[in-house]
Amino acid sequence: MTNITRRGLMAASAAVAALPAAATAKPKPAAAAAWTPDATTVAAMIRSREISPLEAVEAAIRRTEALQPTLNFMVNSDFDRALDAAKAGGQTGPFAGVPFLVKDLNDYAGTPTRNGSAGSYGAPPATANDPWVDAALKAGFIVIGKSASPEFGYLPTTEPLAYGPTRNPWNTGHSTGGSSGGAAAAVSAGVVSIAHASDGGGSIRIPAANCGLFGFKPSRGRLAGNTGLKVIDLSVNHVETHSVRDSAAMFAATERTDATAPYRPIGFIRKPSRRKLRIGVLSASGNGRQPDAEVRAGLDSAVGLLQAMGHQVSETGWPIDSARFGQDFLTLWSAGAAMDIAAVSKALGRAPDRSMAEPFSLAMAELIAKAPQGAVDAAIGRLAEASAAYDGWFATFDVIVSPVLAKPPVPLGYVSGDVPFAVLSERLTDYVGYTPLQNIAGAPAMSVPLHWTADGLPVGVQFAAKAGNDAMLFQLAYQLEAARPWAGRKPPVFA
């Protein structure tokens, strides 16, 4: 990898002054020769004393202050504590001293957890860390703040009505995806080199696809704090990154090694495998429609690359009734919304109106209130069957390749929480159909930035495997990264 000097890292804050501040910045051609320092590189510079943790944190704060007005990726800063921690030093672990963001759905002691909702205005600071956040701190990160999320993490865009939209660095009129959109915007724009993300239906993979990043969703039960092993235990924590090695190193740093862990640890996967894989190509979305032309072009290009690598590639279709699955997943998602709205009601002492919760969240809660008795349990039973069918897919294939989304990054407002429920449900069915099955199955999947549209928007390609086969996906990711490097691509809004 190209070397970067202290001057190169610290100059980022000065260079940012020339960035466009307009809310509709247009894409420009990527600089092919440019290079983005990943967290592994920054950590190595700190270890070698080429830079100090304080210099790294100060630079990240300056980049935040410069780009936050344009991108709105952060909902709560914690600069003073970050500077104090950097001055004190003493961080240990593979990422000691590296600046970091925690997603606003997870507790970080001393800061409020707002969940992207007006219902949490005035919430007191968390008194303890989420278990995964504890593991991240043990890896050596210094947290500079909380990244933006849609309300309760439900939508595949980061446009919380309470805090305003997070804008995509590749075109600020378009969505970053969600729910880890604040994290993805910050990493894509070079504010931080790595940031916390979580995925309950595609929420690591979708922002990675929209922002030109590598986004890996681990198997259920693999990482710290992820002890639930049922179909309903959808969400897992990990990170948004530029490089495969950052994601793999963070996976190793937060991997469960306790006696009750469902899988043997894989450690730090550092290189590709020479194994030739049986790869199934899934093109149709969950509603049976083909993706947009640019997305299909990205998938076809990825298939050609896989064939050139010597992998065995063939077409496949969904192993489940995907239309029924989509309805059942919405039922389960809505049951979660009903619990979140109930919690807001308890905190407020009254039922929230649209000033305290978004129309989509309220509509999902209402959907459950009107559902027949036993509807949620019946949906969960069918989702368990879908999980078993997913596992059966891998008697024939090692990996399934598909789009992440049916469209390139959509304009802001297309799937926001104030779109009428019937319209929004139809749009979601059309837009997001490739990612939720892996959450139900507890399986690993990744979005790899292999394609850009003619007008400069990123399009991720998804690779998924059977539960527990995380190592195989990392090994494939290294192959893809070497064959078609993406680190040199930078968005128009970049530090």
Pick the catalytic residue: 180, 193, 203, 283?
Answer: 203
Pairing, β 171-175 against β 214-217: unpaired
217 noted as active-site residue? no
CA distance 408 to 171: 12
Q: In sequence order, which residues have a C-beta less than 8 Å from that of residue 460 and are 6 or more positions away?
A: 205, 208, 209, 210, 215, 298, 403, 404, 405, 447, 448, 449, 450, 451
243 noted as active-site residue? no
103 noted as active-site residue? yes
Question: How many other CB atoms are there within 10 angstroms of residue 393's CB atom?
Answer: 22
Give SS3 for 69.
Answer: helix
What are the helix (H) ranges across 198-289? 205-211, 244-254
Pick the catalytic residue: 175, 179, 247, 334?
Answer: 179
Tokens for 127, please give them. 């008194």
CA distance 52 to 100: 15
**How far is the CA of 137 from the CAs of 146, 269, 365, in angstroms?**
14, 21, 35
71 CB-contact burial (10 Å; exposed 0-12 / middle 13-18 / buried 19+): buried
DSSP assignments along 357-396, one per residue: S-HHHHHHHHHHHHSPTTHHHHHHHHHHHHHHHHHHHTTT
How many helices, marked H, and strands, marked E, lie in the chain?
Answer: 16, 13
DSSP assignments along 162-185, one per residue: TT---EETTEEEEE--SSSHHHHH
Q: By C-alpha distance, which of 266, 93, 106 is closest to 196?
A: 106
The one-letter code for the residue type at 242 is H
Tokens for 347, please give them. 């905190």
Catalytic residue list: 103, 179, 203
